[in-house]
Amino acid sequence: MTNLSILNAGLLVEGLERDLDVSTDTLALALAVDRRTVERWRANQSVPQGKTRERLGELIALRDQLLQMFGTPDAARDWLRSSSRYLGGFTPEESLKAGRIDRVRADLDGLAAGVFL
């Protein structure tokens, strides 16, 4: 996991957007917050609290696992945008937008374990 502090949420948000090439709206949906909340984090005007902090940590861990597994941000992005049989034909990115970080993680864990559906 990243060594950046949650107190510097701006760098965390920027890193997720850059590495995964996802929009502010996608992050907001994945974290179940308003897009303005993500914008305040990016500007370091506030920090995630409680359950949202945990979800942000899960998303960062997912990003780190993606980069470790696929080696490059481009390869990780390609996987995020590819249809998944495990996710019923949806892409992992679509599952993130539905707030299902857990399902994306399970899909990635299955892939890492050699389970191909």
Distance CA(36)–CA(48), nearest Å, equals 12
pTM for this entry = 0.87
Query: Which two three-digit tokens encode residue 10?
Result: 């701006």
- Give the pLDDT confidence score for residue 2 in this predicted structure: 44
For residue 8, the model assigns a pLDDT of 82
DSSP-assigned states of every residue in 72-114: SHHHHHHHHTS--TTTTT--HHHHHHTT-HHHHHHHHHHHHTT
- With contact defined as beta carbons under 8 Å apart, do 83 and 90 qualify? yes
104 in Cβ contact with 65 (< 8 Å): no
pLDDT means per 10 residues, the chain with 117 residues, are 63 94 95 96 92 93 95 95 94 96 94 77
